[in-house]
A and B are shown apart, each in its own frame.
Chain A
Amino acid sequence: MELKILLESVIALLELFLFPGFLFLIFFSFFIEWLDRKMVAKFQNRYGPLHVGPKGILQPFADILKLLSKEDITPESANEIPFKLTPLLLFSFALTPLFCIPIISNSALITFPTDLVIVIFLMSCIPVLSFIAAWVSTNRFSTIGGTRLALQMFGYEIPLVLALVSPTITTQTFSISKIVEWQMGNLWLFLIQPIGFAIAIICLLAHLQRLPFDMPEAETELVGGWLVEFSGKKLALIKLTKSLELTLAASLITSLYLGGPSFLVISHPVIYFLKIIVCVFIFANLKALFARFRIDQFLVGAWKYLIPLAILQIAMTQILS
């Protein structure tokens, strides 16, 4: 009896730390980043990462290792405690929601009836934390970047939440695992709610600060924006956060709109991987297609088109169900 409990707890710990937990997620996010870089490179007619590992697959890992070995500078005028703390918090806030995503089977590592709300909450904490990080580093460029970040948040946060909520109306649940289960028996949600799917992708791009919405970082305008003062280990954590966020965004789209790890009646991690690859393909394609918006243009677009369309989607869902 005791042995059984011990075994179970060991398995639970292994699940938490190895597969599909902590370590797996980090390395998986490395893979996703590599995939993204490789795809963007392909779209732009180049090779992309090439040297570290076969086809450059270890390049993101090598980048992080390199950053970890670099000198870590804290600017004199920066507020030290929040400046050192924010990268760590960013990392944990990006990693935690990934535990709620069903990867192996239809049920995630951590599930409870309202986990989608927690995921959305943690996700919207990330720009706030980034804003704080920008503010405490007191650089001119990072201040402008932080302001842009906050403005951008006002633009995309509302349509994003609306777009993520509309599946819950159809499925009558706030649990991601339940939504995945629902899609097993029915159509995939992106077929039912195409507008919500499109808005979710656009807003997630804005959330990820990727082209065409990378105004807070805007290398040619702001020299890297809000993360300009971060270096060494802190920058490594932030970069890791970015790839984790990309994984999270792709996983959210997969679980909420593409049916998670399930296809017809089977559910297997491989299906999940394939769907993630499709998502990353979409993200990479959109990154290659556009120039950068200006922040005012984005805000106008978000309030003029995205929010009304998201509300329309919710209204349609309500009427249809």
Chain B
Amino acid sequence: MTIIKEVISNFLKKPVTLRFPYEKMQPVENSRGQPTWKIERCMGCNLCVNVCPSQAIELRGKGRESEIIYYQSKCLFCGECIDVCPTNAIHSISEYKTVFPEKDKMKKEYSRSKQNREIK
């Protein structure tokens, strides 16, 4: 019987699962992760807001003065905004753990003065 051989041989092998809190799964290099803004490059063209399929991006103000508000809870991680950005202000980060227990942390505000500040 094939299954007996398989079961016994697996008993001696190391498990394939991860011991989660101690070992974490590594995302691959070009994985499509959470979009992150380099706000100094942004010129407020509104393209990413228009292309976003789930209205996860909000633009406040105009042009170089504008602020980006990014709602992580709405984001599909499709990467359309990254593709469309004319100034390469958006890039994706490789990070699997993007969920937080607090709702506030699921929203990121990129303003010109204090960069990458998470609002409360």
Contact = CB atoms under 8 A, between A and B. Distances in A.
Q: Are chains A and B native binding partners rather than an unrelated pairing?
A: yes
Interface of A: 39, 41-47, 50, 285, 288-289
B19 A285 contact: no
A315 B87 CA distance: 90
A44 B4 contact: no
B10 to A, nearest CB: 5
Contact of B19 (A44, A50, A288): A50
Contacts, number: 27
8 contacts: A41-B15, A42-B10, A42-B11, A42-B15, A43-B11, A45-B10, A47-B17, A289-B7
A39 B7 CA distance: 11
Nearest to B12: A42
B13 interface: yes
Contact of A45 (B3, B4, B13, B19): B13
Contact of B15 (A39, A47, A285, A289): A47
A46 B17 CA distance: 6
Q: Is the interface of B mostly helix, strand, loop or mixed?
A: helix
A43 B10 contact: yes
Given A42-B10, A43-B11, A289 B19 contact: no
Given A42-B15, A45-B16, A46-B17, A289 B10 contact: no
B111 to A, nearest CB: 41
Nearest to A41: B15
A142 B13 CA distance: 39
Interface residues of B, number: 11
Interface in B3-32: 3-4, 7-8, 10-11, 13, 15-17, 19
A285 B1 CA distance: 14
Interface string B39-80: 000000000000000000000000000000000000000000
Given A42-B10, A43-B10, A44-B10, A289 B3 contact: yes
Given A44-B10, A45-B13, A289-B7, 15 more contacts: A39-B11, A42-B11, A43-B7, A43-B10, A43-B11, A45-B10, A45-B17, A46-B17, A47-B15, A47-B17, A47-B19, A50-B19, A285-B8, A289-B3, A289-B4
A45 to B, nearest CB: 5
Contacts of A47: 15, 17, 19
Which of the listed residues A43, A45, A288 has the most CB atoms from chain B within 10 Å of its own CB?
A: A45
B80 to A, nearest CB: 38
A255 to B, nearest CB: 26
A47 B7 CA distance: 14
B42 to A, nearest CB: 44
Contacts of A41: 15
Contacts of B17: 45-47
Contacts of B11: 39, 42-43
B7 A288 contact: yes
Contacts of A50: 19
Nearest to A43: B7
A44 B11 CA distance: 8
A192 B17 CA distance: 42
A153 B66 CA distance: 75
A287 to B, nearest CB: 10
Contacts of B15: 41-42, 45-47
